[in-house]
Amino acid sequence: MVHLASVPNDKEANAPVVKGMGDLKLEPNDEEDEVTASVYGSRFAAECLPMHEMPEKEMPKEIAYRMIKDDLSLDGNPMLNLASFVTTYMEEEVEKLMAEALPKNFIDYEEYPQTADIQNRCVSMIARMFNAPTHDENENAMGTSTVGSSEAIMLGTLAMKKRWQNKRKAAGKDYSKPNIVMNSAVQVCWEKAARYFEVEERYVFCTEDRYVIDPKEAVNLVDENTIGICAIIGTTYTGEYEDVKAINDLLVEKKIDCPIHVDAASGGFVAPFVVPNLPWDFRLEKVISINVSGHKYGLVYPGVGWVVWRSPEYLPKELVFNINYLGADQASFTLNFSKGASQVIGQYYQMIRLGKHGYRSIMLNLTRTSDYLASALENLGFLIMSKKGGEGLPLVAFRLDPKDKHHFDEFAVAHHLRERGWVVPAYTMAPHSEKLKLMRVVVREDFSRARCDTLVADIKLAMESLKGMDKSTVAHHTKHVNKHHTSSGKSKATNQHYKGEKHSLQGKTGKTHAVC
C-alpha cells in the first residue's frame, strides 16, 4: 500500500522543530573543504538534511550514505515487526542475485529473455502447486507476476468483470451494475478494486464469534449481476481459512453460474504444505483464479505477487495487449509496465533452493511456533481468536479476557511492547464485530522459538506494569502516545484533506484494517 503524502506549504516547510530556534546562528566553519577525515566533521553534519526542495549543490557520496543511514536508524527493526506478513529474511546468496539484477527492467523481454523465462517457470510451478488442470492438452492455465497481491487482485477483479459484461452483452442484457460478494474482513485492496473499477461491494459481515465468510449467506447474496465471490485463504485479522469448498458446493448444487476468486495472498504458500488435503484451489470447479503474495510466505523480499487463471476462458482477450516492445512480441496484462526483475529472480531461487520439502519444513516449524505462542498466551490469561494445528496461518490473534475486567486494553499492551522494540498491532475487528479489540503476532521464518520466548517474557512484563498503574495513569499515557505516535512530529500521518472520508469500511464503521 502506498501512503498518500501531503506536500507542505512554505510556512510548514520552514517552521523550526522547536519554536524560537529559527533565528539561532551557529559559528561558521572556516574550512571550506567539504571532504574531511570524518563524516561528522563536515559541514553537512551540522545542517538539516534537505526535506522539501532539492539542494543546489552536490554532497559527497560517503556523507550522503551515512546521513541517510543515520536517518533510517530511527525506523524499527524489521525482525521485531510482528505486525507484518512481509518477508524480513533471505539468504546471502539470493540477496546477491537480486542485487545483481537491480539494473534489469523486467518488461524488456528481448534484452533479458532468461529473466522472462524464469517468470514463466515460477508461474508454472505456482499453478501446479494450486492444482491447476494440466491433463487437457487443449487447455492451459496462465498467470503473471505482479508487484504484489494488490495488483494481482486488481487484475483478477478486472477479468471477472469483463467476462461477466461479455456474457451480459451477448445475452442482450444490462451490464451496468456489476457487484462482487466478499467478507467484510477483506484487505483494503478489495475495497479499492471494487471502487476503482465501479463494482458494487456486497459484504458478508463478521459476527462476534465468526470472523470468516458464511458460505450460505455469500451464495444468497449472488444475483445475475454478481461477477464473482472472493474467498480468503488466510484472513488478515485471524489467519483463518474460509470454506471455499462449501461455497463451491452450494453454487454447484443450486446451478448458479458464479465464479470464485481465491485471495491466497498469505495462505497460498502455507496451506499446500501444512494442510495439502484441504480443497480450496483449482480442484474446485468454481475456482477460476487465485492470487498469492511471493513476498509473504513465498519468502521473498517485497514486492512480488502472482495471479493464475485456470484457463484462457476466464481471462478475456480484450484485456490482454499484444505488443512489440524493444524488439520482442509479448502479451501483457498488468497495471504496471516497467519494474525490476530482482523479486521474480528471488522467487525462483527460493522455489528451487527449498523445493517442496524445504517449504514444508519451514511452514510446519512456523505452525509449531505459533501453537506454542498461543498456549503461552492462554496461560497468561489471553483469549485466542486464531486457529491452531495448521487450520489457519501461522499467526496468533488474541485479546484480553473481559472477565478479568482490566483497567487497560489491548492498545495499551501494544504501546508497552513498543517500548521494548516489538511491533505487535492492536486493532478493532471487522464491521459488525468492531467492538472486539485484538492483537496479532505473525510468525515468520525468522521468528525462532528463542525469540518467541523473549516476546512472551516481554508481554508478561507489560501486563505486570499495566496492572501496577492506576486507571488515570494508563489513560493519560495512552492519550499521550496516540497524540505523538507518528515520526516524532516530523510529518503528518495522512494528507489532512482526506480525513473523515465515509466511503470505505473504516470510514463507515470505525473499524481498522489489520496490517498486512
The stretch 226-244 carries a mean pLDDT of 97
Indicate the average pLDDT of the chain: 88
The stretch 259-270 carries a mean pLDDT of 98
> How far, in Å, CA of 401 to CA of 478, rounded?
20
The pLDDT value recorded for residue 469 is 87
The stretch 259-271 carries a mean pLDDT of 98
Q: Is 368's pLDDT higher than 60?
A: yes
The pLDDT value recorded for residue 357 is 98
Q: How far is CA 355 from CA 93, 213, 292, in A?
A: 16, 33, 18
SS3 letters across 358-380:
HHHHHHHHHHHHHHHHHHHHHHC
Confidence of residue 463 (pLDDT cuts 50, 70, 90): very high
The stretch 45-63 carries a mean pLDDT of 90
What are the residues facing 384 on neighbouring strands?
398
Confidence of residue 222 (pLDDT cuts 50, 70, 90): very high
Q: Is 252's pLDDT higher than 90?
A: yes
Confidence of residue 34 (pLDDT cuts 50, 70, 90): low
**Phi and psi (nearest 5°) for 290?**
-140, 135
Q: Is 105's pLDDT higher than 60?
A: yes
Q: Are strands 200-204 and 179-183 parallel, antiparallel or unpaired?
A: parallel
The pLDDT value recorded for residue 74 is 87
Q: Is 96's pLDDT higher than 90?
A: yes
User: In one letter, which amino acid is 516?
Assistant: C
DSSP letter assigned to residue 151: H
The stretch 432-451 carries a mean pLDDT of 91
Q: Is 24's pLDDT higher than 80?
A: no
The stretch 47-63 carries a mean pLDDT of 90
The pLDDT value recorded for residue 333 is 82
The stretch 247-255 carries a mean pLDDT of 98
Contacts of residue 160, defined as CB under 8 A and 6 or more positions apart, other chains included, come to 180, 227, 228, 259, 261, 288, 289, 314
Q: Which of 354-363, 400-409, 413-422 has the highest mean pLDDT?
A: 354-363
The pLDDT value recorded for residue 137 is 75
Pick the closest to residue 51 from 8, 83, 91, 109 (CA basis): 8
SS3 letters across 320-343:
CEEEEECCEEEEECCCCCCCECHH
Q: Is 389's pLDDT higher than 70?
A: yes
The stretch 43-66 carries a mean pLDDT of 90
Q: Is 430's pLDDT higher than 90?
A: no
Confidence of residue 429 (pLDDT cuts 50, 70, 90): confident
202-214 pLDDT, tens digit each: 999 998 889 999 9
> How far, in Å, CA of 93 to CA of 55, rounded?
37
The pLDDT value recorded for residue 512 is 62
Q: How far is CA 136 from the centre of its chain?
A: 35
The pLDDT value recorded for residue 334 is 82
Pick the closest to residue 189 from 303, 73, 26, 25 (CA basis): 303
> How far, in Å, CA of 156 to CA of 107, rounded?
20
> How far, in Å, CA of 153 to CA of 419, rounded?
36
Q: Is 326's pLDDT higher than 60?
A: no
484-502 pLDDT, tens digit each: 665 445 555 456 666 767 6
The stretch 185-196 carries a mean pLDDT of 92
Does the predicted TM-score (pTM) go above 0.75? yes
Contacts of residue 346, defined as CB under 8 A and 6 or more positions apart, other chains included, come to 90, 94, 97, 98, 294, 300, 301, 304
> How far, in Å, CA of 216 to CA of 210, rounded?
14
Q: How far is CA 289 from CA 94, 152, 169, 312, in A?
A: 29, 10, 22, 11
The stretch 255-280 carries a mean pLDDT of 98
The pLDDT value recorded for residue 145 is 94
Least confident of 181-190, 281-290, 336-345: 336-345
pLDDT higher at 397 or 25: 397
Q: Is 136's pLDDT higher than 90?
A: no
End-to-end C-alpha distance for the chain, whole angstroms: 9
Q: Is 379's pLDDT higher than 60?
A: yes
In terms of C-beta density within 10 A (0-12 exposed, 13-18 middle, 19 or more buried), how is residue 53 classed?
Answer: exposed
Q: Is 30's pLDDT higher than 80?
A: no
> How far, in Å, CA of 269 to CA of 298, rounded?
6
Q: Is 367's pLDDT higher than 70?
A: yes
Least confident of 8-22, 338-352, 481-495: 481-495
The stretch 151-168 carries a mean pLDDT of 97
